[in-house]
Amino acid sequence: MNWGTKLMIGMLCFMSFIVVLGVLMFNSKTDALVDTDYYEKGLDYDKDYNRKAQVQADKARPEIKLSPDHLILSFKAAATGELRLLRNSDKKMDRRVAIKTDEHNQVNIPLNAIAKGRWRIILSWESNGKAYLDEQEVSIE
């Protein structure tokens, strides 16, 4: 076999590889985007930034503790809002939970329906007439 034939075989293998990757990409049902409404969230970026800054200004970042069967959120004052649990590896596992603190300014979230692993927690709440937003990561064992 001369060098021209080897070159053509190499080029055909490479082109076949690229075509196979293209077909797999177009047939894939999943998308790499975390949020499908990323454009709307981009428009709300200033609001989110201000709410995150409010957490820093008021030193109101909630404390997250893990017990064997509960996720415990401790706030500085009474709060109501929403907790989003995001799983980067599988969007179908994402959860939204409405939260309201008890008399000890805590929220207990049962972990029986939440898979073990790494989760991104997005807390959005209101307390004393102010809006807050905080993001943390937690590993549920």
For residue 79, the model assigns a pLDDT of 95
For residue 140, the model assigns a pLDDT of 87
- Digits of tens for pLDDT over the chain (141 positions)? 899 999 999 999 999 999 999 999 888 776 656 666 777 778 888 899 999 999 999 999 999 999 888 999 999 999 999 999 998 888 888 999 999 999 999 999 998 888 889 999 999 999 999 999 999 999 988
Secondary structure (H, E, C), the chain: CCHHHHHHHHHHHHHHHHHHHHHHHHHCCCCCCCCCCHHHHHHCHHHHHHHHHHHHHHCCCCEEEECCCEEEEECCCCCEEEEEEECCCCHHHCEEEEEECCCCCEEEEECCCCCCEEEEEEEEEEECCEEEEEEEEEEEC
Domains (range + CATH), the chain: 38-140 (2.60.40.10)
